[in-house]
Amino acid sequence: MLGYIVRRLIALIPILFGISILVFAAARVMPGNFAQVKAGQNATPEQVAELEHQYGLDKPLVEQYFNWLGDAAHLDLGKSLLRNRPVTDEIVSRLPVTGQLLIMTMGVSAILGLTIGIVSAMNFGRPLDSLLRGVSILGMSVPTFWVATLVILLPSIYFSYAPPFSHVGFFENPWDNLRQYGPPSLVLGFASGCGLARIVRGSILGVVGQDFMRTARAKGLRESVVIRRHALGNVMLPIITILGMEAVGLLGGTVIVEQVFNLNGLGRLLIESALSRDYPAIQAMALVVGVAVMLLFLLIDIAYACLDPRVRLTGGTNA
Amino acid sequence: MRSAEMTLEMAGEIRPHHIGLITHVRRRLMGVTGAAILGFLILTAVVGPFVVPYDPQSIEFSAFQKPGLEHPFGTDKLGRDVFTRVIYGARISLGIGIAATLMASIGGTLLGVVSAYFGGWVDYLIQRLVEVVMSFPALILLIILSAALGPSIRNVILILGIAAIPIMSRLVRSIVLSEKQQPYIEAARSLGASNRRILFMHVLPSTLPLVGILASLSLGFMILAEAALSFLGLGVPVPNPSWGADMSGNARDYFQQAPWLAIFPGLAISLTILGANLVGEAVRDIIDPFAQSWGRAGR
């Protein structure tokens, strides 16, 4: 098992290399460089040149790239133009917000997705199936930023209700904290749970017609046991992959709900950086997202290797 | 993913008796409802602006009028007619969605054909690049691209198109790879056909049906992505009547006072994407009937 993980980590290196080159190149292709943005529109060429020198932008591209990469390896992702403080600090200080949001959203999404998907599959072809399918298509169609807006707006109009305005840590005041994080994770979790439900339903229906299912029924097992033991057991593995993919997609979804619900997480950092063209910050966040996604994929594969003996047989020799 | 060839074969094999009556009607109903919604929206986008009495940018009315006979969806903080803006918004939303889908289809097809047909290191490089781009969450990729290019209608199309090219190219590549092995390609080659002739006369046409299907499936995503980007202030810039942009920025400060500003553009977006998703669902049912028939066999 350990050997497998180490091999996967080594295989990650060229991919991370590719991501870093792409992110670096993208930042250079952007119109105007850091220095021009920082100096403003009325800057003289000398001022721009001085800033360029300060940021090392006058050096050859290859040298710039390796300097940046070397710094990044030491977790130094450069300085935000907008806030004039290291991007790493900014990211670390916002990590708990996005982290809690992601965990709660994943929970909501998994519970809703599995429940709707299983109930839907068990009632295949009946009205309940059609109803749930309709609900999940609807849930996928309605944009989260609109639902989120209504979730804030309607209670405030009809009940004059407002969630706590400034950030509350979970251990300071769990109730206020949940009032803050509950609605956004429900909104986002519902949307992504609807997508998940469709896949769960499809995967279950995919195994329902197989021989071992008929055998299980022929043995006289109750339908719920057949579904739980035989269908779900086979369906769980692909669903783990899908859950992992959902988590990657949710990295994008959090950007929107953080914006609407006023949560100061990584998503808002990205938006603020993008709106003010804070290139060092954008570049840093792109790298962080790329690395996070790769690690998530790795986690999925490890979970697979742990749960599925077939993967261990082909993937690792001394597992 | 199942090979493209197989999917096509399956599409040819569907016969009504594989499908129960209720499923059949529901499937039709779903697709028909979706198509009706989309058709209505296209009609609105094309004809609507000639029918509505006001101008989407004109600020001649008093601000924050409640929805009523004169202004069915009310007016906004500048006194613009919200109904007119929502109607014009259909043009922007569908226009951008269709343009971006076309761009992604053409770009993705070219990239996929080149990658698969030439193989070797060209294929290797393109595929690694595609993987890196595809690993980014879609919205984050769009935000980063938008930060690089700056918000404008043209750039939104460009951004959405670029972001969707990788997945389109993957599909096309898989079709071309299987098509390359077909005897008729060998026959064409032995008759002395040039690479270019084989590519354009034989390989490219065989990719068209599935590219069309994937394009129709991605329309909903494109429209949703445009609305989300505009909502974040990184898409269609104000004062263009975009549904997403009309709910973004400081417009939000007035929602409490004038909730109709939030409700109608949001309804329009939801309806559009619902239509696109229903059509997509029907299309998927037609090309992937396996889940259905297996499910029936089990009961």
Q: What is the CATH number of the domain that holds B256?
A: 1.10.3720.10
Q: Provide the number of structural domains found in chain B.
A: 1
Q: What angle do CA A136, B282, B207 make, to 5 degrees?
A: 120
DSSP-assigned beta bridge partners for residue B81: B75
DSSP-derived 3-state class of residue A172: coil
Whether residue B127 lies inside any domain: the answer is: yes
Q: Which of A26, A208, A249 sits opposite B294 (nearest CB)?
A: A208
The span from the CA of A28 to the CA of A138, in Å, is 41
pLDDT of A191 over the 70 cut: yes
Q: What is the pLDDT of residue A246?
A: 81
| Chain B residues touching residue A194 (CB < 8 angstroms) | none
Nearest in space to A132 (alpha carbons), one of A121, A145, A143: A121
Domain membership of residue A114 (yes or no) is yes
Banded model confidence at residue B24, pLDDT cuts 50, 70, 90: low
CB contact (8 A) between residue A22 and residue B133: yes
Query: Hey, CA dihedral for B283, B288, B291, B297, is it positive or negative?
Result: positive
Residue in B closest to A259 by C-alpha: B232
Report phi then psi at B75, rounded to 5.
-125, 160
The neighbour count for residue A312, using CB atoms within 10 Å, is: 16
* Mean pLDDT, range B201-229, rounded to an integer: 83
Tokens of B284: 């998927």
Work out the pLDDT band at A317, boundaries 50, 70, 90: very low
Question: Nearest CA of chain A to the CA of B194: how many Å?
Answer: 35
| Predicted confidence band of residue B107 (pLDDT cuts 50, 70, 90) | very high
Tell me whether residue B147 is in a domain: yes
Q: With beta carbons less than 8 A apart as the criterion, state whether A150 and B262 touch.
A: yes
Q: Please state at what angle helix B204-231 crosses helix B260-287, rounded to 10 degrees.
A: 160
Please count the residue pairs, one from chain A and one from chain B, whose beta carbons lie less than 8 angstroms apart.
156
Question: Residue B113 is part of which domain span?
Answer: 56-274
Between positions 229 and 248 of A, the ones with CB within 8 A of B are 248
- DSSP designation for A210: S
The C-alpha of A208 sits at a distance from chain B's nearest C-alpha, in angstroms, of 6
Tokens of A240: 């783990």
Nearest Cα residue in chain B from A294: B135
Long-range own/partner contacts, residues B110-114 (CB < 8 A, 24 or more apart):
B111/B165, B111/B168, B111/B169, B111/B172, B112/B168, B112/B169, B112/B170, B112/B171, B112/B172, B112/B173, B112/B175, B112/B176, B112/B207, B113/B172, B113/B173, B113/B176, B113/B199, B113/B203, B113/B204, B113/B207
Position B25 scores a pLDDT of: 59
CATH value at residue A171: 1.10.3720.10
- Please, which residues have CB within 8 angstroms of residue B196's CB and are 6 or more apart in sequence? none
Check A149 against B255: CB less than 8 A apart: yes
Tell me which of A13, A120, A146, A298 to substitute to probe the interface with B (most B C-beta atoms closer than 10 Å).
A146
How many structural domains does chain A have?
1
Using CA coordinates, name the residue in chain B closest to A213.
B298
Supply the pLDDT for residue B295: 34
What's the DSSP call for residue A86? B
DSSP type of residue A31: S
Instruction: Determine, for residues B297 and A209 on separate chains, whether the beta-carbon distance falls below 8 Å.
Output: yes
> Does the distance separating the beta carbons of A249 and B138 come in below 8 Å?
yes
Tokens of A135: 């609900």
A40 is a domain residue: no
Three-class SS of residue A199? helix
Q: What is the pTM of this model?
A: 0.81
Q: What is the mean pLDDT of chain B?
A: 76
Distance CA A8, CA A111 (A): 30
Contacts of residue A75, defined as CB under 8 A and 6 or more positions apart, other chains included, come to: A88
Are B160 and B225 in contact by the 8 Å Cβ rule? The answer is: yes
User: What number is the average pLDDT over the span A88-114?
Assistant: 87
| Nearest by CB: A18 against B132, B140, B234 | B132
Is residue B209 in a domain? yes
Q: Domain for residue A231, yes or no? A: yes
Query: Is the pLDDT at A231 greater than 80, yes or no?
Result: no
Is A238 contained in some domain?
Answer: yes
Highest-confidence range of A217-221, B4-8, B104-108, by mean pLDDT? B104-108
The answer to which of A105-114, A224-233, B215-224, B233-242 has the lowest mean pLDDT is A224-233
CA atoms of B173 and A174, how far apart (whole Å) = 51
Which residues of chain A lie closer than 8 angstroms to B136, CB-CB? 286, 289-290, 293
In a domain, A317, yes or no: no
CB contact under 8 A, B262 and A289: no
| Three-point CA angle A160, A164, A170, nearest 5° | 145
B226 touches B146 (CB < 8 A):
no
The predicted pLDDT at position A269 comes to 87
Any CB–CB contact under 8 A between A29 and chain B? yes
Residue A289 lies in a domain: no
Residue A141, Cα to own-chain centre: how many angstroms? Answer: 19
Cα A275 to Cα A51, A253, A283, B25, B234, distances in angstroms = 22, 18, 14, 48, 7
Domain residues for the domain of A236 are: 91-266+294-307
Chain A contacts of B266, Cβ < 8 Å? Answer: 143, 146, 149-150
State residue A86 phi and psi, 5-degree precision. -60, 135
ipTM of the complex in this document: 0.80
Is residue B282, in this structure, part of any structural domain at all? Answer: no
B11 domain-assigned: no
Decide if B74 contacts B260 (C-beta within 8 A): yes
Residue at B126 is within a domain: yes
Query: How near does any CA of chain A get to the CA of B169, in Å?
Result: 19
Comparing CB atoms, the residue among A26, A206, A255 nearest residue B139 is A255
Residue B298 pLDDT: 32
Asked if the model's pLDDT at residue B103 lies above 90, the reply is yes
| Cβ separation B269–A143 shorter than 8 A | yes
Cβ distance of A290 and B297 shorter than 8 Å: no
Looking at the domain assignment, is residue B165 inside a domain? yes
Q: Does residue B13 belong to any structural domain of this protein?
A: no
